[in-house]
Amino acid sequence: MLMLKGIPDVLSPELLKVLCEMGHGDIIVIADGNFPAESIGRNSIVIRCDGHGVPELLDAILKLFPLDTYVEHPVNLMEVVPSDPVETPIWNTYYDIIAKYDDRGAKTVGNIERFAFYEKAKNAYAIVATGEKALYANIMLQKGVVIN
């Protein structure tokens, strides 16, 4: 438990440190339980949050984390493989969470083909490995600037 006011309990000291260290344009991936976080994140900081789901972490992170306003899609989802008969209702939850913190709402969100998502994730500043069970629940956030 963090002994600070206003910090969501789901954010560990390690994750808070990473969010503080990240600069404008840096990327963080919040990965579902199937994402190969350790192998993709060999050159990144991998933070284990196995007991948590992506939506609760996304909500907590976006309370503190500005999305980049200089790119069209500062949020990216892993595109469903066309032959994969998977539904992604969790994405609607993401849109609702994003809209709470960014006036652009769903317009901030793009999709990246699965293997291109993995390639881009290899250059992420950090990958947060969660216990999320929903499929295609991976989300990539690009940090913006803090404007007072």
Catalytic residue numbers, as ranges:
24, 68, 118
Where do we find the tokens 């709402």?
105
**Sign of the torsion formed by the C-alpha atoms of 17, 11, 56 and 86:** positive
* Token duo for residue 5: 């006011």
For β-strands 45-49 and 126-130, DSSP reports them as parallel
Residues 98, 101, 121, 2, Cα dihedral to 10°: -120
Going by C-beta distance under 8 Å and a sequence separation of 6 or more, which residues neighbour residue 92?
none
